[in-house]
Structure 1
């Protein structure tokens, strides 16, 4: 799933990401296109059991979010 958060003012990008995470199924991942690094989001993702990877590329910042499979 891809969520385009470019051009949105805080807290909308974080709100949209957290809402979209509720729609992910097992093994799915979310990619959010961003204008900036969502540092305030990281603690909430950790609390909810998600793993993330933030990258800044030529296309702009993006964060990939997924849940590790249970052992």
Structure 2
């Protein structure tokens, strides 16, 4: 699943991402694309125990792959 959060103002990207994660099963992945590095989201993902990998794109956006933790 890919969630394109570009063009949205905070906190919309974080809210959309966390909502989409709730719909996933454990170990499933969600890819998000954000205009900026989502520092507050990273703190929340760490707290929830989800794994994520970040790739900065050529246009300055960020592609983050989030794997939902096992429950």
1:51 corresponding residue in structure 2: 51
Unpaired segments of 5 or more residues in structure 2? none
Instruction: Please give the root-mean-square deviation of Cα atoms over the aligned residues, in Å.
Output: 1.7
TM-score, normalised with respect to structure 1: 0.86
Matched, 1:65 2:66: yes
- 1:9-52 superposed Cα distances (whole Å, 9 cap, x missing partner): 00000000000000111331010011010011111101111011
Unpaired segments of 5 or more residues in structure 1? none
1:38 corresponding residue in structure 2: 38
Which has the larger share of helix?
2
C-alpha contact 2:25 2:68 (8 A) present in aligned 1: no
TM-score, normalised with respect to structure 2: 0.86
